[in-house]
Structure 1
Amino acid sequence: MHSKPSRRPFSLALRLTFFISLSTILAFIAFTWFMLHSVENHFAEQDVSDLQQISTTLNRILQSPVDPDDKKISKIKESIASYRNVALLLLNPRGEVLFSSAQGAALRPAVNSADFSEHSRARDVFLWTVEDPAGPMDTGSEMKMETYRIIASSGQAIFQGKQQNYVMLTGLSINFHLHYLDALKKNLIAIAVVISLL
């Protein structure tokens, strides 16, 4: 009776090559996660800083006791024009629009969200995603989604000839950042695949 010959173990060189390749791939995965996480955090910190600065400026303009309505609106438009992809919605206590930028209507549904009051009191920044009403409406085309970081604030101002409370939503579209992160992730994955095949 013939016994089966035992399988020869993989050569030392092959095993070393395997473990070196595996270590390289794992190290690259960790590097990829760290890079994406760092870039995402950088974008978030930059967005929050911009939104807080814009919100502070706009509240100061609104609460100016000397400027008439048209002067306040003019200053508001000038302020948001210097930033990219900013949307603004100003409401009175009844939910009526006092002022809206071109994309301001996209922020309106956020007012009805369950945790809006909490965000407004804390004046923190939260994410909101909507179907872009200004996007292409061709038959068969995908509806464009727009994601905003929003800061909500409230106060009192002399507007429309009377002292009244207001709620202001300031939104910053982060679609550019999301597309950049998605492209970066795809490029890094492609590089990882190439490395694994070498």
Structure 2
Amino acid sequence: MADLSATTTAATAYDAVARKLHWSIAALILVAFGLGLTVDVFPHSWEYAVVETHKVVGIAILVLVLARLGWRLTHRPPKMPDGPAILALAARIGHVALYLVMLIVPIIGLVYAVRRGQGFDFGLFAVPAFQAAEPRAATRPIREWHEWAAYALIALACLHALAAFWHHFVRKDDTLRRMLPDAPRRSL
């Protein structure tokens, strides 16, 4: 007789690809945000390397978020733990908002870099600037939108994490465990 608990348990967790994309994106967002916040703290001689790393990490985030969206559209997420419909609605709204902002932040950053006449240095190769730099006064609003969108992303990510902890510690359901790498999962 087949072990039904393994089948049931597996169906309650995100698959390995979804989990790896989730945690990779989360880590890269923290790196990009940290670099963006601290670029002025580094010695001036490091500015180029810090800014280029920030841009490359932002591009990686964009690529991984697009991959995550593609995966999500082609692979059904696990069933949510039972609970009030309002929690499912809040989760859906929160996820849509996160995806939108995770796309918006790097796209605005790319627009800013292009309009500032910046190329992209990937270390092994570089992509030259697409155009001459526009005046700072013309691009300042784009930079500010990028910064505010990044703060919104961090706020949404914190709410996302707090909701997961609330589910884990207060509701005592498997919402958090569904996304943890290789964590033991309770069967339904």
User: Is the pair's TM-score, using the shorter chain for normalization, greater than 0.5?
Assistant: no
TM-score (norm 1): 0.28
* Larger helix fraction of residues: 2
- Select the structure that is richer in strand: 1
With structure 2 as the length reference, what TM-score do the two structures score? Answer: 0.29
Structure index of larger Rg = 1
